[in-house]
Chains A and B, each alone.
Chain A
């Protein structure tokens, strides 16, 4: 058929559907005209009017019959039936608002929860990353195999990066980048704003396939030693700071104290690297706002010692004869490594490619899938609930369905209508669900500010909408089939199996909600134990804020270190003497903030096997850090003014370090340790002057690692987190003082991450809080649905048996015996449900094991408590209708109907 005819056909069909009354009128007119001519023909042949009429009717063959054949030929019948059924479905729902409201609410709530979680899962795990050919973009790590078999993924040194960038043939483009905090201002005198920045090699934009929307990216020629100061900014920062003005392109902006030429603005939404997608110690901001060239000096090209670069490469589409595989590229890179670094450790290291999507998703995949599982339970409970309601409706509509069946409606036609009616229900539920999911997703994302990878990529797309549509369709089909089945059972007088079906549904609801409740209770218990963990410091009454001294060019601690150290000492000294301040100090990597650094240490006089060289977590501290954080001194002394640049190089270690290397705390004092993380080479060993308590720096649920502390005056840094202990109850009250002091000591230093120490600790539990809150929400939702379901079944049972109860009461049964009998029936259902739920929980809670702290996955008290609670709720749901039954007046019950 040619397209013109197709268009004409479509027009005819649409007209038949949407101008139905006009089409029908035309048909009636046409047939009437035909009939009229038929009659006239006979009259012309001499028949009387009455005879002609009869004969015409005979020839015509029944107007209605012709009309039906005519309509069938229109080809829109199935659709017309559907529309008719939909209309009927809407009418049915409007006639039963209570049923409709209950079903739509249950479906809407469950679908809302399910779609919100799926929306997040979709954004974080399923959606392609917002770059070109994201499946080919890989992070390149240096995999280091420890003696115990563990493998660490380490960043690259500028030396090894230069080697692979020069020698590898497996990539279309390769780039390196690292975090770089900046303080931005429009003019030298304007107030600076701390922003997350990154220094990147220009090829980064080729790897990602993203170019500026305004202006241009910086070029390779600009990213050379002695090159110009150029920068790119994010669309967001451009709008916020510069009002989206195009005039700013090519103009000067100030990063720190240095002028930079702004070459361009990146597209809206582009914020690579986004902190949550890479390991926390790299300290990338949640969203990166400023990009400047990463420049390799000639000395960097051969520097294999400092591993601080993240490398990213876009695999070539073809390598030699075949497709480029990640494993082939890894092998090629490792060959390059072997060729360039002749180290004895070689067999322990190799390159490892991790696709960028996997890098982002790996950390959160398990918890997200657990949430998806939990929400599937809620969905199943809601489905059981609505199925139960729908079956109940069939009971109420028995008469109507019987009449329609008697009038000749085919069984298939009736079943189709039941499915269509439920489609109306499910579409309404889906609409409510999508609305709830839209807001629910926002709430979910608010629970994990900055710590959920790819949070920016979460948003409704075709996948979420198709899943919503699919769920609604499956539900409609399921409910319709259940209703049709129930209707058939009723016609065959098998009412018993209908109520048995409903009982099984309620059992399922009880069992599923108990499993969810146990999961939620385990996570809550775990969260409570985590909050009771003593971190080794006292987070109360302390304010923390990160001070960054702006840099020009690369950090040169050997040149500028003394100045940095003096600045921080000055700030801390002024704060310490201010009224209301109990103690003030600073630390480079604040405990539980996500940042930490490790370094090699060699206790003097001890020999370690090759490959078993010890390392420790390095904390660079200033002022009275131990006093401000209330970290207990176990032996020796804390740092004081004597531990300065000119004094003896000193070190404080934690108990774990002391015990591990020297046997006891006391034995560690006075011992010497060579630190491999000194700024300058060939520094003399440090002497241990004190031993302090272990501090949980990485997470509350892990043990503290061996830790060493060195004074900032001897190992300078340009960024420090102040810890200020106040005498008052509100640490934030000290903020104006801190701001003013920092500004007075160093006018262009920036302050950010201003938080109370307590909120730092609380934020470190954000993932746990996220899981606990969501699963607890789902458990409550499940319990409410199960309660309503149980109540509904019991209430119906009581309604159906009013007469029987009336007879019993009339025959002398006391209300108490009636209540007891009904209660017994309800509780049997509940007991079976609880038993199944407990068994199910035993099998299922194992998936939570890695997320629990201080509570076993089969904790007896949690299981018993949850079962008791569900039982209590169930008794309540049973008792209300049972009690109502006992209040039946035998006279009205017997005369009713």
Chain B
């Protein structure tokens, strides 16, 4: 899928970008990702599991993230997702194109 295609599919594209962004600092499990996105956006954006887990599957399919079972601080088994090199590059281009689009929309909004 090319970036042009993605820009039309804003909701899904945005979710993918948010997940990649959330994982850019450290590997996390599913709940951690939801929590992190909620924290960063101060609760403006919430990601429900029904969208999150399919998105995680998709991102794995594309080779942007990988999943491994690991132990949490509380000694429980959890599936941790981490960013791959390809995923990091992807985050870069996604951020870039998002900024361009946001700026364009901003410009449109300013002129009227």
Interface on A for B, CB 8 Å cutoff?
A: 1-2, 4-5, 8-9, 12, 26-27, 29-31, 33-34, 37-38, 41, 59-62, 65-66, 69-70, 72-75
Asked if B99 lies at the interface with its beta carbon under 8 angstroms from chain A, I say no
CB atoms of B77 and A34 under 8 A apart? no
Contact with A along B40-64 (1 / 0, CB 8 A): 0000000011110111011011110
CB atoms of B50 and A65 under 8 A apart? yes
CB distance from A805 to the nearest CB of B (A): 59
Asked if B76 lies at the interface with its beta carbon under 8 angstroms from chain A, I say yes
CB atoms of A30 and B48 under 8 A apart? no
Which residues of chain A come closer than 8 Å to B77, judged between CB atoms?
29, 33
CB atoms of B31 and A38 under 8 A apart? yes
Q: Which residue of B lies closest to A68 (CB)?
A: B50
Asked if B78 lies at the interface with its beta carbon under 8 angstroms from chain A, I say yes
CB distance from B1 to the nearest CB of A (A): 10
CB atoms of A33 and B63 under 8 A apart? no
Known A-B contacts A5-B62, A5-B63; the reply to A31 vs B48 at CB < 8 A is: no
Which residues of chain A come closer than 8 Å to B34, judged between CB atoms?
34
Other contacts beyond A30-B79, A60-B48: 5, CB < 8 A = A29-B77, A33-B76, A34-B31, A66-B53, A75-B61
- For the complex, give the distance between the alpha carbons of A37 and B31 in Å: 7
CB distance from A116 to the nearest CB of B (A): 46
CB atoms of A34 and B54 under 8 A apart? no
- Other-chain residue from A4, A26, A66, A73 in contact with B49 (beta carbon distance below 8 A): A66
Which residues of chain B come closer than 8 Å to A5, judged between CB atoms?
62-63, 86
Which residues of chain B come closer than 8 Å to A72, judged between CB atoms?
54
Contact with A along B58-89 (1 / 0, CB 8 A): 10111100000100000011110000001000
CB distance from B9 to the nearest CB of A (A): 15
CB atoms of A33 and B78 under 8 A apart? yes
- Other-chain residue from A9, A38, A41, A73 in contact with B53 (beta carbon distance below 8 A): A73
- Other-chain residue from A9, A34, A62, A75 in contact with B63 (beta carbon distance below 8 A): A9
Q: Which residue of B lies closest to A16 (CB)?
A: B57
Which residues of chain B come closer than 8 Å to A69, judged between CB atoms?
50-51, 53-54
- For the complex, give the distance between the alpha carbons of A33 and B61 in Å: 23
- For the complex, give the distance between the alpha carbons of A75 and B53 in Å: 13
Which residues of chain A come closer than 8 Å to B53, judged between CB atoms?
27, 30-31, 66, 69-70, 73
CB atoms of B29 and A66 under 8 A apart? no
- Other-chain residue from A2, A62, A70 in contact with B57 (beta carbon distance below 8 A): A70
Which residues of chain A come closer than 8 Å to B78, judged between CB atoms?
30, 33
CB distance from A28 to the nearest CB of B (A): 12
Which residues of chain B come closer than 8 Å to A66, judged between CB atoms?
49-50, 53
Which residues of chain A come closer than 8 Å to B62, judged between CB atoms?
1, 5
Tier of interface size on chain B:
20 to 34
CB atoms of B61 and A61 under 8 A apart? no
- Other-chain residue from A8, A37, A61 in contact with B48 (beta carbon distance below 8 A): A61
Cβ contacts A to B, 23 pairs, < 8 Å = A9-B61, A9-B63, A12-B60, A12-B61, A27-B53, A29-B77, A30-B53, A31-B49, A31-B53, A33-B30, A34-B29, A34-B31, A37-B35, A41-B35, A61-B48, A62-B50, A65-B50, A69-B50, A69-B54, A73-B54, A73-B55, A73-B58, A75-B61
The secondary structure that dominates the B interface is helix
Known A-B contacts A30-B78, A33-B31, A33-B76; the reply to A8 vs B63 at CB < 8 A is: yes
Which residues of chain A come closer than 8 Å to B79, judged between CB atoms?
26, 29-30, 33
CB distance from A30 to the nearest CB of B (A): 5
- For the complex, give the distance between the alpha carbons of A73 and B79 in Å: 17
- For the complex, give the distance between the alpha carbons of A38 and B57 in Å: 21
- For the complex, give the distance between the alpha carbons of A129 and B49 in Å: 64
- For the complex, give the distance between the alpha carbons of A362 and B48 in Å: 73
Q: Which of A4, A61, A72, A73 has the most CB of B within 10 A?
A: A73
CB atoms of A33 and B29 under 8 A apart? yes
CB distance from A6 to the nearest CB of B (A): 9
Which residues of chain B come closer than 8 Å to A31, judged between CB atoms?
49, 53
CB distance from B61 to the nearest CB of A (A): 6
- Other-chain residue from B30, B50, B58, B63 in contact with A30 (beta carbon distance below 8 A): B30
- For the complex, give the distance between the alpha carbons of A60 and B53 in Å: 12
Which residues of chain B come closer than 8 Å to A74, judged between CB atoms?
57
CB distance from B43 to the nearest CB of A (A): 12
Which residues of chain B come closer than 8 Å to A59, judged between CB atoms?
48
Q: Which residue of B lies closest to A29 (CB)?
A: B77
CB atoms of A61 and B63 under 8 A apart? no
Which residues of chain B come closer than 8 Å to A60, judged between CB atoms?
48-49
User: 5 shortest A-B CB distances, which residue pairs?
Assistant: A5-B63, A73-B54, A73-B57, A37-B31, A34-B31
CB atoms of A34 and B61 under 8 A apart? no
CB distance from B89 to the nearest CB of A (A): 12
Which residues of chain A come closer than 8 Å to B61, judged between CB atoms?
9, 12, 75
CB distance from A422 to the nearest CB of B (A): 33
Known A-B contacts A1-B63, A30-B78, A73-B57; the reply to A61 vs B49 at CB < 8 A is: yes
CB distance from A699 to the nearest CB of B (A): 70
Q: Which residue of A lies closest to B59 (CB)?
A: A73
Q: Which of A9, A30, A60 has the most CB of B within 10 A?
A: A30
- For the complex, give the distance between the alpha carbons of A617 and B85 in Å: 89
CB distance from B31 to the nearest CB of A (A): 4
CB distance from B64 to the nearest CB of A (A): 9
- For the complex, give the distance between the alpha carbons of A534 and B35 in Å: 102
CB distance from B5 to the nearest CB of A (A): 14
Which residues of chain B come closer than 8 Å to A38, judged between CB atoms?
31
CB distance from A625 to the nearest CB of B (A): 86
Which residues of chain A come closer than 8 Å to B50, judged between CB atoms?
61-62, 65-66, 69
CB distance from A20 to the nearest CB of B (A): 15
- For the complex, give the distance between the alpha carbons of A724 and B79 in Å: 93
Interface residues in B5-34 (C-beta closer than 8 Å to A): 29-31, 34
